[in-house]
Amino acid sequence: MINYRKLCKFTIEHQYYAANNAQANDETPQLMQIRPTVHCQQLMKKSRTGFKVHHNQLLLYCQVNESQSGSVFLAPQVLRQPQVFTFSLHPAAVPLLDISAFADDLPQKSIVTFGNSQLAELDQNQGEGLWMTPKSTQQWQQKNYWYQLQKQQFFWPFVSDHQRSAKNWFLLKDKSAEKLPSELITQQEGGLQIDLREHSPGEYQLFSGKNKQASFYVDDNFCSQPPIAILTLQTGEGVAAEGQFIEPITGVIIEKNFKISIPARRTTWRYFIVPKYLSDKDQQLNIDVPFPQYQFKAAEQQPRSDGTTMFRFDSVQPIELSTTGLRGLTLHGNRQGVLIDNLPSPRAEQLVVEQGMFFSDQYIYV
């Protein structure tokens, strides 16, 4: 009888859908299409390993041998050595990029990488899973977490006088300390010609002396349809103990649950109050908020194309977008009292970008 055993489970969460702690269930749309790379498919075939994708979760499992005592399960011998299962993640939900707090100045065709070799601080309740970095909104927006997607032979242009005058150029693979042969880099006028065709796809760092100049993810297969993220699930002694789902040497399986949380975008909310039915259009309007962290500036009157006036309210601080929105925003008039006791929250598709700033607009007719 052939037995299979779970190795690890990977779950994608998104703070935009964080309502009621229903992150990975059927109420949350499928966020990503998860696809094994060509190298990953070959490794799974060799190691008698398989995977299943259900909604926002990836399950990695393998054929096992039961120990003599029957209390533990052993992974195939090949997985006790350093191996890397690599999956590409492509946006599936239509508004995924709009609702996510990605920085707007990231390099074009850039991807973020994460895996079981880079875990954030462990949760108090580890049974719910281990967080992979990047975890915080600030980390997701930092450029050192993102990689420029490149083909295995490409030209990298200089962007500063320091780079043009630099001489000591070299590459590192996968954050290792071992320099790759200098023949891979040819310095030309205006940039570097880099040739990695004889090397495996993956992460590379470009240095000039002690200074890192760029981070690349190199894979010809990704350039025609770039993913938004790369997931790596590694085995072997090079992985910290808390990230291992297979004990090196012994091959004992330690089932692990890993999680990644994509932060929701924060935007300045703008309410445009249009007096259409209001009998007293000269009264003062204001928005009352039951939450001290969310406040709105005083109304600003703006002319409309038909010659009438509308009132604009901007949030003092950006507000996180979510499926539930904010309950309890109340529109008041100083003469008529409550005009609307629960203002609707803007939806994801109402995103407006002006001069690099993000706004969510909502028009209200009173």
What distance in Å separates the CA atoms of residue 334 and residue 283, rounded to the nearest whole number?
Answer: 6
What distance in Å separates the CA atoms of residue 239 and residue 246, rounded to the nearest whole number?
Answer: 10
The predicted pLDDT at position 183 comes to 94
The predicted pLDDT at position 217 comes to 94
The predicted pLDDT at position 20 comes to 46
The secondary structure of 130-191, three-state, reads EEECCCCHHHHHCHHHEEEEECCEEEEECCCHHHHHCCCEEEEECCCCCECCHHHEEEECCE
Half-sphere exposure of 148 (CA within 13 A, CB side): 17
Q: What tokens were used for 135?
A: 């975890």
**Is 0.95 topped by the overall pTM?**
no
The predicted pLDDT at position 127 comes to 58
Q: Which CATH fold topology does 152-218 show? A: Immunoglobulin-like (2.60.40)
What distance in Å separates the CA atoms of residue 9 and residue 216, rounded to the nearest whole number?
Answer: 27
* Model confidence pLDDT, tens digit, residues 276-325: 777 666 678 899 988 888 899 999 988 888 878 889 999 999 999 998 88
What distance in Å separates the CA atoms of residue 32 and residue 137, rounded to the nearest whole number?
Answer: 19
For the chain, which residues make up each domain, given as ranges? 3-136+225-262, 152-218, 266-365
The predicted pLDDT at position 297 comes to 93
Which residue positions in the chain have pLDDT lower than 50? 20, 22-24
The predicted pLDDT at position 199 comes to 93
**Omega before 134 cis (within 30°)?**
yes
Contact 203, 173 (CB under 8 A): yes
Could you count the other beta carbons within 10 Å of the beta carbon of residue 50? 14
Residue 360 φ/ψ, nearest 5 degrees: -120, 115
Distance of CA 322 to the CA centre of its chain: 16
DSSP character at residue 332: E
Residue 217 φ/ψ, nearest 5 degrees: -115, 120
DSSP character at residue 99: H
Residue 262's nearest CA partner among 8, 40, 29 is 29
Q: What tokens were used for 353?
A: 């970008």
What distance in Å separates the CA atoms of residue 127 and residue 9, rounded to the nearest whole number?
Answer: 12
Contact 134, 106 (CB under 8 A): no
Residue 337's nearest CA partner among 288, 296, 275 is 288
The predicted pLDDT at position 182 comes to 92
The predicted pLDDT at position 218 comes to 95
Residues 6+ apart with CB under 8 A from 94: none
Task: Write the CA distances from 273 to 128, 281, 334, integer angstroms.
Answer: 45, 11, 15
What distance in Å separates the CA atoms of residue 18 and residue 328, rounded to the nearest whole number?
Answer: 19
* Model confidence pLDDT, tens digit, residues 255-276: 999 999 999 999 999 999 998 7
The predicted pLDDT at position 279 comes to 66
What distance in Å separates the CA atoms of residue 290 and residue 68, rounded to the nearest whole number?
Answer: 62
DSSP character at residue 126: G
DSSP character at residue 241: G
